[in-house]
Amino acid sequence: MERYFLVLIVCLGLAFQSSKSTEIDSVYIYNTYSKIARQIIQKAMADSLSWEKLAYVCDTYGPRLTGSKSLNDAIFWAEKEMKKDGFENVHLEEVMVPNWKRGEEYCEMVYPRNKVFKISSLGHSVGTNGKLIEAPVLVVKDFDELAKRSKEVKGKIVVYNAPWVSYGHNVQYRFHGASEAAKYGAVASLLRSVSPIGFDMLHTGVMGYQDSIPKIPTASITLEDAELLQRLQNRGITPKLKLKMTCETMPDTISYNLMGEIRGSEKPREIVALGGHSDSWDYGEGAQDDASGFISTWEALNIIRSLGLKPRRTMRNVIWVNEESGTRGGIAYAEKHKNEPHFLVFEFDSGVFEPLGIGFTGDEKYLTILKGITPLVKEIAPDFSIKKGGGGVDIGPMMRLGISGMSLSTKGNDEYFWYHHSPADTPDKVNPEDLNKCIAIIAIATYIYADLPDFISTK
């Protein structure tokens, strides 16, 4: 019994020391970096030059579809600007990317009346082989209704009129809808645009096929047209559509990941990589998705560099390519740099609104330490917090190798999906003040992480 109590006392003592240690680390963050944080915030909030840079990219190069000349031209411009900014080791790395072309697209309701529909072919969809498909319509709310009415599907165009729940829920009809309809004999599939609002606006995005199921053309239509077809069907009318799509997938082509660095002062081999993606869909200019992401991380490092700050570890800005339709940039980066000792990967791809928090996936002790950042940013983000769970599509391949991941969340919620993958994703949707706040928080969080001293480092 005496031995039991002795062990208990030792364990309690160690637990107390551990708790005290993490508390000291959090206090250390505040005491060490509060002055630097104020400098970063002051610099970030001083003007609208970052927004001007974002607007320049969107206005000058327009939509940046993977495989397009406009995308590569934007990347080449960014490379030149990074060199002008004074970053070290600025260079491009070739990535073979998908090369899907939209072509022409046409959709018209021909029964019970004539009405031309707006239509957006989905990325990687096949076309109609130069033919005009004319077929009756079957409208369903979800995959369960499709299965229940499977005997009615053959020879028809299936229309998914799924009410908005969330992006994660509704995007399943965009990605899997064609194959689910094709396995019951549908000749094409359409879906209500993946957005919480209508306003006769189209939203596009990538889709996928199952190899064992015939490939049929698929596209999005507006909320208003999906609801029209639904009402007609509810009245016992079977609408009929004409559909033509000339989209096709060409051979893969060359594009690039772009990166530039601030070299670490003490542990330069260890990397904190942060960035967003350069590509967008071809209907909008990709201001929120994701010019805002790659401009924010680029400008965050620019502030750190301009203030003469030298973190212990190397900070690398990465502008990944092809996030939207294949993640080839993220995969290529992980393959090429997997043997470099990455300390952290950070991605911003959640839209520019008021900053809400940092999500972190990694060692629990770092999560506790990072909470010391919260009071440093309260003046520009009063509701800010550090939470468990961070990541992103482009940094996913690195995180699967065991690297810690971090991301910034904002208060956009459903509002982000008003513009997402649509013609409305233009610079005027990005608030310059919110952009500056995001940049400041990214700079503070990633700089502090890159500068963590050895006594709380795992490397």
What positions carry a catalytic annotation? Answer: 323
Q: Look at residue 336 and give its three-state secondary structure.
A: helix
From residue 381, alpha-carbon distances to 255, 313, 328, 354, 440 in Å are: 37, 27, 34, 7, 10
Token readout for 237 is: 């009318």
What amino acid is encoded at 272 in this protein? V
Any alpha helices (H) in 248-338, and if so which ranges?
A: 292-306, 328-337
Q: How far is it, in rounded angstroms, from Cα 330 to Cα 269? A: 20
**Cβ neighbours, 10 Å, residue 93:** 15
Nearest 5 degrees, angle CA 314-CA 271-CA 91? 75
Q: Which of 182, 175, 178, 181 is nearest to 206 (CA)?
A: 175
Find the Cα–Cα–Cα–Cα dihedral 136, 141, 145, 147, rounded to 10°.
Answer: 70
Two structure tokens written together for 111? 């029964």
- Long-range contacts, 79-82 (Cβ 8 Å, 24+): 79/258, 81/53, 82/258, 82/260, 82/298, 82/317
